[in-house]
């Protein structure tokens, strides 16, 4: 049964269908699910709605970049790119989702969305797809799945963090004790410099009034 949370969406220009087919077969042979539209006649509301649902639900969006895509200013693949980029803006920055793959000597800075230039690309030479490529995709999917499981949960404090927190608390206690001791010593020193008589009352009682003898 199809699991969208683990599916890979493969986006490509129709002229690059042969390369897309090789990549799809290599990933499927490695046990991964790939959403790959093999239809040569693209169009229609039902087909468009299906593509949009898949991009909205997939775990990884793989965009094949080539001289063909660079030379075409229009194409349905550009709508797929836009939908994927729009979705990526709702994700955490470190979540793997967009993966541009150059299948020839296409440059990374030509005629692609700005968001594509912000992520790491992969390059594939013509011919059989190497096993390292499928393994890289597997690692990206594993990272995405692990992040989804821990979404919303606070990460546990590392031992280094715990040591820093304990050291900071100890420093605060030592500082507070030092300040208290300094204030106490200042008070004691102040009273020690006063004359001895100043510690007693300096008020002399008035003598009783005298009355003349009768």
Q: Where does the pLDDT of residue 85 fall: very low under 50, low under 70, confident under 90, or very high at 90 and above?
A: very high
Are 144 and 163 within one domain?
no
Domain boundary among 95, 129, 149: 149
Q: Are residues 77 and 172 in the same domain?
A: no
Say yes or no: 83 and 166 in one domain.
Answer: no
How many distinct structural domains can be found in the chain?
2
Residues 132 and 172 in one domain: no
What pTM did the predictor assign? 0.65
Asked whether residue 28 falls in the same domain as residue 108, the answer is: yes
- List Cβ<8 Å contacts ≥24 apart for 144-153: 144/59, 144/60, 144/95, 144/96, 144/97, 145/5, 145/6, 145/59, 147/92, 147/94, 147/95, 148/5
Residue 152 has pLDDT above 60, yes or no: no
pLDDT above 90 covers what percent of the chain?
Answer: 50
- Is pLDDT above 60 for 122? yes
Domain containing residue 86: 4-149
Query: Which of 1-10, 119-128, 132-141, 187-196 shows the lowest mean pLDDT across its residues?
Result: 187-196
Shared domain check, 136 and 116: yes
Same domain assignment for residues 82 and 178:
no
Report pLDDT for 194: 54
Using alpha carbons, select from 150, 132, 128, 129 the residue that is nearest to residue 140.
132
Quote the pLDDT of residue 10. Answer: 96
The answer to whether position 205 is within a domain reads no
Same domain for 60 and 126, yes or no, is yes
Residue 140 and residue 81 share a domain: yes
The verdict on 126 and 77 lying in the same domain is yes
The per-residue pLDDT for 37 is: 77
Q: Name the residue with higher pLDDT: 162 or 57.
A: 57
> Would you say residue 58 lies in a domain?
yes
Higher pLDDT, 214 or 186: 186
Residue 43 in any domain: the answer is yes
pLDDT in tens, 3-51: 666 899 999 999 999 999 999 999 999 999 999 876 544 567 788 898 9
Mean pLDDT throughout 164-179?
Answer: 54
Go through the chain and tell me how many residues it has.
Answer: 214
Whether residue 8 contacts residue 58, with contact meaning beta carbons closer than 8 Å, is answered with yes
Domain with residue 68: its CATH number is 3.40.50.10140
Q: Give the residue with greater pLDDT, 14 vs 200.
A: 14
169: pLDDT strictly greater than 80: no
Mean pLDDT of the chain: 77
Average pLDDT of span 98-108? 92
Q: Does residue 197 lie in a domain region?
A: no
- Would you state the pLDDT for residue 119? 93
Residue 60 has pLDDT above 70, yes or no: yes
Statement to judge: residues 84 and 173 lie in one domain: no
Q: Within this chain, do residues 130 and 179 fall inside the same structural domain, yes or no?
A: no
* Within a domain: 208: no
Contact 63, 11 (CB under 8 A): yes
Q: Is residue 145 part of a domain?
A: yes
Tell me whether residue 193 is in a domain: no
Cα separation, 104 vs 126, whole angstroms: 7
Residue 13 in any domain: the answer is yes
């Amino acid at each position: 049964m199809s699991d969208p949370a683990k599916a890979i969406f493969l986006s490509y220009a129709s002229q690059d269908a042969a390369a897309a087919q090789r990549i799809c077969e290599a990933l499927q042979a490695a046990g991964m699910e790939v959403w790959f539209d093999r239809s040569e006649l693209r169009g229609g509301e039902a087909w468009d709605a299906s593509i949009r649902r898949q991009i909205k639900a997939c775990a990884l969006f793989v965009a094949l970049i080539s001289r063909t895509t660079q030379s075409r200013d229009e194409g349905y693949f550009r709508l797929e790119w836009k939908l994927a980029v729009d979705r990526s803006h709702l994700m955490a920055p470190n979540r793997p989702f967009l993966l541009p793959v150059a299948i020839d000597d296409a440059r990374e800075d030509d005629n692609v969305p700005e968001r594509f230039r912000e992520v790491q690309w992969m390059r594939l030479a013509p011919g059989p797809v190497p096993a390292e490529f499928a393994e890289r995709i597997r690692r990206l999917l594993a990272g995405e799945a692990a992040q989804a499981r821990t979404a919303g949960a606070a990460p546990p404090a590392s031992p280094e963090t715990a040591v820093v927190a304990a050291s900071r608390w100890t420093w605060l206690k030592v500082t507070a004790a030092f300040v208290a001791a300094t204030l106490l010593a200042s008070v004691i020193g102040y009273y020690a410099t006063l004359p001895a008589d100043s510690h007693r009352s300096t008020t002399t009682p008035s003598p009783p009034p005298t009355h003349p003898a009768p």
